[in-house]
Structure 1
Amino acid sequence: MNEPSARTAAFRTAIGSFIEARRDAKLKGKNEDATTASKYAYDTWLADAARRVGQIQAVTHVLKATHPDARGSSMHFKPSTLTAHAEVGTHVLGDDYAEDVVGNAAALDVFKFLKIEVEGRRLLDWIQAGDPDLALALSKEPDTAQSWMQAFGELVRSETQPVSHETAKQLYWCTGEEPADNGDYQLLQPLFSSSLAHAVHADIQEARFGEANKEARQAHRERKASDTDYRDYRGLVARKLGGTKPQNISQLNSERGGINYLLASLPPHWKAQKQARSLLGGESAIDRFTYFGPVRSLVRHLAQFLLSDPPPNAETREKRECIEQAIGQELPVFAATIRASHEAGWTRDERCHLPQYEKLWLDPDRTELPIRDGHEEEDQKFIDDYYLADWPSELANRFGAWLTARLVEAGLKTAGDSEFHHFARQAIVDAQWPVPMQLRAGGRT
């Protein structure tokens, strides 16, 4: 048996520190008992992790991003092995890319374990390289060490027979010369590249919130010279995957909060931008929300359903709640569209007559701008109101009143108080989602 080396000790220390941190987090505020403590013994935890690692899979392309109910195969492709097309694609990531993980969310701690870095590389990388010092750090028993190395290494595995699913998007691509000949078509299944989406998301976030770009943006706004380039992504649309449970799609999707940006591929005068600009001079953004995306169609669908006098049963309640939720979920998308097409502080414009709670909702990054000379009281009040966090309730009440009014206009005699409050609660959940309130509040005392 090989004697432990300094590298083995380094691996063992890193692994032990991770397990201890997991134990401390589990027992925080609780008295340690023998049963719980034993689960976090070095060998015991590793044995359990080696057993659970089969419940998750490292991937680059996620099937559930196409449809949350898809039960087919997600795939793992090293970007450097893909064809180098001229167009932007996963291949441009090279060897610098983030691996995603799908599977049982309860086993994601195993992935965090395999991401521990020693000598600048992850444990997963050392395992895939068959590092003997790491094997000895896992277990002094060669058979056990080899078994665990193999189990952990299979986090990245290829499907021997990839499987599609009826909810996965598929299309027939004509590969021959005769469109009328079924034999000239190839059935394709597009897969969502989560690794590429993560890289795009990181770049956009850095452009929007990174200190260097914020300084360059401020210099541009003040017509001052800057040593750095000013980057801006305009006309963005935020596609939300996973609803209130983005972790059900994948680990990276959860880290993005479900946000997946779509770049504008339309002519310069995009309708959404016109909607955003028209808010100046308007009395309420919720009135503009009526004409956003599928909102009018959804409201009409809800009204027609209620006017049909459906029986008061569980099926009716489920269908109604489904339509209401679809309407509510358009609120954060509408807000993200407005924020993406405007620079922070646009609500300072004297032509902006929106109520304060809508300004706070649609221009949250204004809280990070310097307070203006001559507007100290106004700007400080905006910041205080934002962190006081009463505005989501005001917005919810406004949304409930708006939807109730639309239903009455459609022919319902009244939507009723219970419905109003239901709409308000739904609005609170959906309207708060795109604003990282806890994150922002965490930086204040």
Structure 2
Amino acid sequence: MDNSFRQPHRVAAFYQAISEFIEERRDAKLKGQEGEAAEKLAAKYDYRTWLADAARRVSQIQAVTHVLKATHPDAKGSSLHIPPETLGQRTEVGSHLLGEAFAEDVVGNAAALDVYKLLKLEVDGKRLLDWLQEDDPSLLAALDTDESVAQEWAEAFKALVRPPAAPVSHVLAKQVYWCVSGEPTDNAGFHLLQPMFSSSLAHEVHGRINEARFGESNKEARQAYYKRQEHPVPYAEYRGLAARKLGGTKPQNISQLNSERGGVNYLFASLPPQWRQSGERRLMSSEAVMRHFRRYEGVNGLLKALIKLLKNDPDSTMETRKKREEIERALGESLVAFGCTVRHSREPGWTRDPDCQLVECEQLWLDPERANLPPRPESEQADMTFQQALEWKDWPQEVANRFGSWLNNILHNAGVPVGDTEAAHWARQALVDSDWPSRWRRPAAQVTATQEVSNG
């Protein structure tokens, strides 16, 4: 050891960090202990005694990046330490993306994990293990005044990161036969592959997901999103997650990082992508509006309730009429909410798109503020016609009639006997109950009365 590179203040810093770690463990063990038993236990936590024992026990654990026991807790093959920067760079998401800033895991005898906790203590921004791998003379001097003993312990601690003598698989490991000869009937033309669980990658994913779920910054961004307010930080959300628990009640038996995660390992939904058009595009076709209204919050449930009520052919009682009217009113309120949602979620003038095939009354209903936009030079006549149609106030009745026909068609297909009288009733209810913009809403008294719907 070259004493010229020792720095007394750094030696003291290393010694203090190690001493405090050992003392904390000693104090935790001595709680409730007294007399001779306490003295014997305290002796084990003498600075030199504990380090000597730690240097012996470190061989029982190994630093890894890929953990075998994550596949099966009773698998007894090899785990691997593969630094991400040594892996080939690919376009797919994988361990190679972690670079130099990755979390090392530790496997082996859980009773020796305290040695790893010592080695990951940080002094001057680096772990003790990193300083040992650099043969830092100040740290070696802090280990022991006897240079040979300090060097012996340092070599033992550095062996925490070591390759297996000979990689070994196990019957409980996940294994895949991969044809390399191109002849599936040739038994000798296969390689036996063993996919390995990347604990370092799982730990990074776990941290990002937890930050999105519980982090204060993302919480504020999420609240701003739901309040439709601006926020400087993007809002992140992971949906369709599942969690696999590894190790049961003893996650430390799988690995150290698995223990830090409480055994929780998140799984993303393995589903094919669902390609979706933008909301505006989905509302462009001629039959889109009522189709999307049916998928609006609670509408399909209301339809099922109405179908069930009418198909049961109940007696014409006040109770039956009350139930039916409650469903009708809820459908009318849903129609209101649907219209408001569409109007408030789109910029005025979205129905000017050449691909828009909505009938005029639906354009007037869902995009009324378009009338306040300046006419387009190339479509001045169409825009003027739109403004006039809005003021003529005929379009609410037309929308209500389309709603009545749509509801009648659903009931008819469900086997409920309905006709023009029922369609007129649904339309009248939509017109009376729906909250059309105030300057276009017709008073209920102006609605022509029609015969009550069948069955009460």
Q: Would you say the 8 A contact 2:103–2:203 is kept in 1?
A: yes
1-structure distance, mates of 2:34, 2:67: 41
Q: CA deviation at 1:60?
A: 0.6
Among 2, 5, 29, which residue is 1:26 paired with? 29
What is residue 189 of structure 2 aligned with on the other side? 184
User: Within 2, Cα distance between the matches of 1:52 and 1:76?
Assistant: 19
Matches within 5 A, 1:232-271: 232-267=237-272
Q: Please say if 1:199 is aligned against 2:204.
A: yes
1:41 deviates by 1.0
CA distance, structure 2, for counterparts of residue 64 and residue 144 of structure 1: 35
Query: Structure 1: which amino acid aligns with 2:85?
Result: S
Give the conservation status (yes or no) of the 8 Å contact 1:61–1:195: yes
Equivalent in the alignment of 2:49: 44
In structure 1, what is the equivalent of residue 8 of structure 2? 5
TM score, norm. by length of structure 1: 0.59
1:50-89 matches, within 5 Å, as: 50-89=55-94
Aligned with 1:161 (options 158, 166, 170): 166
Secondary structure at 1:183 match in 2: coil
Query: Does the Cα contact within 8 Å between 2:141 and 2:150 map onto a contact in 1?
Result: yes
d(CA) in 1 for partners of 2:63 and 2:231? Answer: 42
State how far apart, in whole Å, the 2-side matches of 1:159 and 1:245 are: 25
CA distance in 2, matches of 1:227, 1:34: 58
Measure how far apart 1:29 and its partner are.
Answer: 4.4
Tell me the residue number matched to 1:350. none
Q: Give the Cα separation in 2 of the matches to 1:249 and 1:34.
A: 34
Q: Percent identity?
A: 65
Asked if structure 1 preserves the Cα contact closer than 8 Å seen for 2:119 and 2:129, the reply is yes
1:315-359 CA distance string (max 9 Å, x none): xxxxxxxxxxxxxxxxxxxxxxxxxxxxxxxxxxxxxxxxxxxxx
Q: What TM-score, normalized to structure 2?
A: 0.57
Residues in 1 aligned to 2:34 and 2:210: alpha-carbon distance in whole angstroms:
41
Matched with 1:15 is 18
Structure 2 segments unaligned to the other structure (5+ residues):
275-296, 302-456
Tell me the equivalent position of 1:148. 153
Match of 1:427 in 2: none
Query: Structure 2 CA distance, aligned partners of 1:115 and 1:16?
Result: 14
Q: Is the 8 A contact 1:4 1:136 kept in 2?
A: no
**Cα deviation 1:182-234 (Å, max 9, x = unaligned):** 33321101110000000000000000000000011111111111111000111
Cα pair 2:30 2:42 within 8 Å, conserved: no
Rounded to whole Å, the distance in 1 between the matches of 2:32 and 2:225 is 49
1:144, 1:246 → 2: CA distance? 35
Q: CA shift at 1:181, angstroms? A: 2.4
- Secondary structure at 1:162 match in 2: coil
Name the amino acid aligned to 2:59. Answer: G
Deviation at 1:159, TM superposition (A): 1.0
Partners of 1:23 and 1:243 lie apart in 2 by 29
After superposition, where does 1:66-145 map in structure 2 within 5 Å?
A: 66-145=71-150
Distance 1:140 1:46 in 2: 13
Q: CA deviation at 1:180?
A: 2.5
For the aligned residue pairs, the C-alpha RMSD in angstroms reads 2.0
| Letter in structure 1 aligned against 2:178 | W
In the alignment of these two chains, the number of paired residues is: 273
Is the radius of gyration larger for structure 1 or structure 2? 2
Contact (CA 8 Å) 2:178, 2:192: kept in 1 or not?
Answer: yes
Hey, what's the Cα distance between the residues in 1 that align with 2:120 and 2:127? 5
